[in-house]
Amino acid sequence: MSISMSGAFADDSFLDDPTSYRQLVGSLMYMLVTRPGLSFAVNRLCQFMHSPTHQHLAALKRVLCYVKGSLHLGLRLPGSMTTTIHAFSDSDWAGCQVDRRFKAGFAIFIGSSLVSWVSRKQLTIARSFTEVEYRALADVAAEVV
């Protein structure tokens, strides 16, 4: 799921009372324990808590519609007899149109249980797709070790 806050809505005036926006975004933060796929969208919405606009409220409504339509999705934490470790990593070079930073994430499983995951925007700007992939791989390797 991605969120774009540019160009889609002409009304970018500030909300008269941002309390409901803040409460809804705060409620979404509790869902991140079992719905890590929402992390980026919720983080993006949190960046505008101090002065949300009608454009941000529209993006929040899109996230809520997605949640409503995907209630059956989430993390299951089943027991497993195997201790085989599987790690997966992914990255997106310069995917954020606002600051051109790359996003990277990983998921680590022991058996069939997800035990560790991360999805975050990196602090620096990468020079190439290869650099992004190496950094993402280094992050997941450090977590496995």
Rounded to whole angstroms, the Cα distance separating 80 from 111 reads: 6
Which pLDDT score, from 0 to 100, does residue 47 have? 92
Q: What pLDDT score does 67 carry? A: 93
Q: Which residues of 8-42 are buried (b: 16+ CB within 10 A; e: fewer)?
A: eeeeeeeeeebeebbeebeebeeeeeebbbbbbbb
Q: How far apart are CA 52 and CA 2, in angstroms?
A: 18
For position 9, what pLDDT does the model report? 47
Which residues, at least 6 apart from 17, have a Cβ–Cβ distance to it below 8 Å?
none
**pLDDT score, position 36:** 79
Place of tokens 């990255």: 91
88-to-2, 54, 67, 74, 115 alpha-carbon distances in Å: 20, 37, 24, 18, 12
* Residue 88: predicted pLDDT: 94
What is residue 128's predicted lDDT score, i.e. its pLDDT?
82
Question: The pTM is what?
Answer: 0.56
Q: Report, as ranges of residue numbers, the positions in the chain whose pLDDT lies below 50.
A: 2, 7-9
Give me the pLDDT at residue 66, please: 94
pLDDT in tens, 89-131: 988 876 666 677 778 889 999 888 888 888 887 777 778 888 8
Q: Alpha-carbon distance 93 to 133, whole Å?
A: 9
- Residues 6 or more apart from 110 whose CB is under 8 A from it? 80, 83, 84, 85
